[in-house]
Structure 1
Amino acid sequence: MENMKLDFAPLAVPLHRRLQTASVAQWVFSFVALAPICIVVFIYLLFTRYWLVCVLYAAWWVIDYDTPARGGNRVPFLCGLKIWDYLRDYFPIKLVKTADLDPKHNYVMGFHPHGVLVAGAFTNFCTYSTGFRQLFPGLTSYLLMLPLWFRSPFFRDLILCAGLIPSNKQCAQYPLLQRRGGHAVVIAVGGAPEALDAHPGSFNVLLANKKGFIKMAMEQGAHLVPIFSFGENEVYDQVENTRGTWLRWIQERLQRVMGISLPLFHARGIFQYSFGLIPYRRPINTVVGRPIRVEKNERPTPEELDTLHQLYMDKLSDLFEEHKANYGVDKDTHLNFV
């Protein structure tokens, strides 16, 4: 019974740490629950005296329908709010640069691993808190997100303001069509399925058969940039779901039907450290690798695609090997491409 006792946070926690926890709590809430709540509120308002709000919003949705396919609607003021500094410092999260990225080019950045809630990707590429604009001047980042989330009223507008765009091909390639360069599309390549492998100590990367982003880069002549986020899998525990177990079987089928994965994750709470959905305070170091030059090829052959895909995997592996010792990864640990 000793293990069942709650480990409460002390009363004398400094204010800045409480603000960090509050910032993370609102972010987790937004990621996990805000979209379905917005849908429920929208439907509820239709049957109240406030139905006109829904009608007006529906009209706005029609007018603004093409915005996700045209690079979103980032609001710099929102991306620079102080609340994101507290989110950064909670873990903390750091963006590490290894090479310059010429703003005359466009880039497809592969983010690995996905983790449970892609904390590193959101903080580094949707907020200004970790200095992306200073490290890579002239570049604008766009983080891809499942199209499902852009079907939620109100929530859709919020994520568009943060620089998120849908992960379908039409939306993803729009920034890359801008000839003046300076656009970086960030893709969590493993996507929802990889979240099911997001266990502490796991270095499984769902990449072996992921070639769509490689093909898009070739078609648009965008340079490829591998990114590895050390610590991304460490901030949550997950119920054991080894491949072949009944739980994993259910999760994979739900993912195919719904388009989103449902990892059973847990960590700590707001006022206690024993259980909850607030992530652990563990550092995340997102290392941006050197660019891989890509020549425009609108109709790549399967052999050309495979060659560039293998080169990308090799460069990602080299990036991991070069930096793993800096972030506490054992020298005998290597990436496992699945």
Structure 2
Amino acid sequence: MKIDFAPRNVPLHRRLQTAAVLQWVYSFLGLAPTCIFVFIYLLFTRYWLISVLYSVWWFIDYDTPARGGRRVPYLCGIKVWDYMRDYFPIKLVKTVDLDPRKNYILGFHPHGVLVAGAFTNFCTYATGFRQLFPGLTSYLLMLPLWFRAPFFRDYIMWAGLVPSDKETASYLLCRRGGGNAVVIAVGGAPEALDAHPGTYNVLLANKKGFVKLAMEYGAHLVPVFSFGENEVFDQVENPRGTWLRWIQERLQAIMGISLPLFHARGIFQYSFGLMPYRKPITTVVGRPIRVEKNEKPTVEDLDALHQLYMDELSSLFEEHKSNYGVDKDTHLNFV
């Protein structure tokens, strides 16, 4: 295979963009195992006290992720995220204002392989969420599994990530005074297995938990579609019904995380690797769906609001798809 190497005269700003995305990819794929290894390794060295003291801290601080985490605004606004934004580039688009006196659930679609758009738009300040939606604080939900990794749990909380469980979301949505935007990648890890370039499969047809949560707390629902999210990585073909897909789905059911076999480019060459392609991602935040508080919704109430949400998401996609290179005959496929 011929390797397409990057030229030597790549401008410094593009090298910095690559470095920023490299640390993000490593954080997503390798930092948690590294932290676990370091934690255990230190126990068998003369620095064992570090792990012991951290264990005490972990015990005291155990409930913090479920109580809104511990975002550090300074770290969300450092220059490295601007370089990451410009690598693709990533852009956040507002269609209407959101009232900061209300609480919201933002349904993010599609998940993509590594949710690059969701992280950059809602965990960092690089794309201007605070300026576009003044008075709102965004919280991106992440698999609870990652909050069980020592050291790593603190790192992801600094960026505003919180566990994707009902306890955490409920804590944020029941806050009086509003101003909380809970961002849920509704398709979750299973949807990552459908993240192929040129596909618009949305795992939503039977996903109603977030709708019920919105009704229980009277949080308005906001559909969000991220154009280009599926374009930044290639993935080994894994159609439903194949042996590879069967293995991936079994592992996902056991481990809680999906294992898409993805690839794209490298650091110093463009032929293979785990670095994403430099393709634009544009995340469009749609109109809010007004939700009245109903602590015990009926099945009919739930189904009606779920259908309304799917209709609004489909309308958002149809309204904006021509602006971002999607063929006019392409429509969302609800799975």
| TM tier relative to shorter chain | over 0.9
Q: Does residue 1:23 correspond to 2:44, yes or no?
A: no
Residue aligning to 1:113? 110
| Structure-2 separation of matches of 1:116 and 1:17 | 23
Q: Secondary structure in 2 aligned to 1:186?
A: strand
Residue aligning to 2:4? 7
| Structure-2 separation of matches of 1:18 and 1:104 | 42
Superposed CA offset, 1:35-59 (max 9, x none): 0111111111111111100010001
Compute the displacement of 1:107 (Å): 0.1
| Structure-2 separation of matches of 1:144 and 1:69 | 10
Residue aligning to 1:288? 285
Residue aligning to 1:136? 133
Compute the displacement of 1:227 (Å): 0.2
Q: Secondary structure in 2 aligned to 1:99?
A: coil
Compute the displacement of 1:66 (Å): 1.1
Compute the displacement of 1:175 (Å): 1.1
Gapped runs of 5+ residues in structure 1? none
Compute the displacement of 1:5 (Å): 1.0
Q: How does 1:155-304 map to 2 (within 5 A)?
A: 155-304=152-301
Residue aligning to 1:125? 122
Residue of 77, 81, 85 corresponding to 1:80: 77
| Structure-2 separation of matches of 1:308 and 1:248 | 31
Superposed CA offset, 1:190-217 (max 9, x none): 0000000000001000000000000000
AA paired with 1:91?
A: F
Normalized against structure 1, the TM-score is what?
0.99
Residue of 46, 54, 65 corresponding to 1:49: 46
Normalized against structure 2, the TM-score is what?
1.00
AA paired with 2:232?
A: V
Gapped runs of 5+ residues in structure 2? none
| Structure-1 separation of matches of 2:33 and 2:215 | 37
Q: Does residue 1:318 correspond to 2:315, yes or no?
A: yes
AA paired with 1:332?
A: D
Q: Secondary structure in 2 aligned to 1:224?
A: strand
Moved over 3 A (4+): none
| Structure-1 separation of matches of 2:15 and 2:137 | 32
Superposed CA offset, 1:56-80 (max 9, x none): 0001001111111110000000000
Q: What is the total number of aligned residue pairs between the two structures? A: 335
Superposed CA offset, 1:245-264 (max 9, x none): 10000000000000000000
Residue aligning to 2:94? 97
Q: Share of identical aligned residues, percent? A: 82
